[in-house]
Chain A
Amino acid sequence: MDRNYIPVLFLLGIAVLTAVAIIGLSHLVMRSRPTPVKQQPYESGMPPLGDARERFSIKFYMVAMLFIVFDIETVFMIPWAAYYRQLSCAVPLVGGACPAGQISFFGLGEMLVFMAILLAGFVYVWKKGALQWD
Chain B
Amino acid sequence: MNPAMIPEGAHPLAATVARLVWLLPLLPLLGFLINGTLAMLGVAKIGPADPSANGGHGHGEVPGHADEHAHDDHGHPPRHKFAKIVSLVGPGVLVAAFALAVAIFAAMRGVEMEHPYLLTLFSWMPVGDLKLDATILLDPLSMTMVMVVTGVGMLIHVFSVGYMQDDPGYPRYFAYLNLFVFFMLLLVLGGSYPLLFVGWEGVGLCSYLLIGFWFSEKANADAGKKAFIMNRIGDFGFLVAMLLMFANFGTLDILGVAEQAAELPMGGVIATTIALFLFLGCTGKSAQIPLYTWLPDAMAGPTPVSALIHAATMVTAGVYLVARASGIFSMAPVAQLTVALVGAATAFFAATIGLKQWDIKKVLAYSTVSQLGYMFVAVGVGAYVAGIFHLVTHAFFKALLFLGSGSVIYVLHAAYHKTHNHDDAQDMRNMGGLRQYMPITFSLMWIATLAIAGIPLFSGFFSKDEILTSVFARISHSTLADASLLGMPGGTVLMIVYGLAVASALMTAIYMARMMLYTFHGPNRTGEGERPHLKEAPWVMTGPLVVLGALTAFGGWLNVPALLGAIGPVGGLEHFLEPVVGEAALRTTLGVAPHLPHSTELMLVGAAIFIAVAGIAFAVWRLKPAALVPRKDAPESTGIDRVLENKYFVDEGYAAAFVNPTVNASRTVLWKGFDAGIIDGLFVNGSALLARAFGWMGSQLQTGQVGTYAWVLLIGVITLLGAFTFR
Asked whether any CB of A lies within 8 Å of a CB of B in the complex, the reply is no
Which residue numbers of A lie inside 8 Å of B, CB to CB?
A: none
Which residue numbers of B lie inside 8 Å of A, CB to CB?
A: none
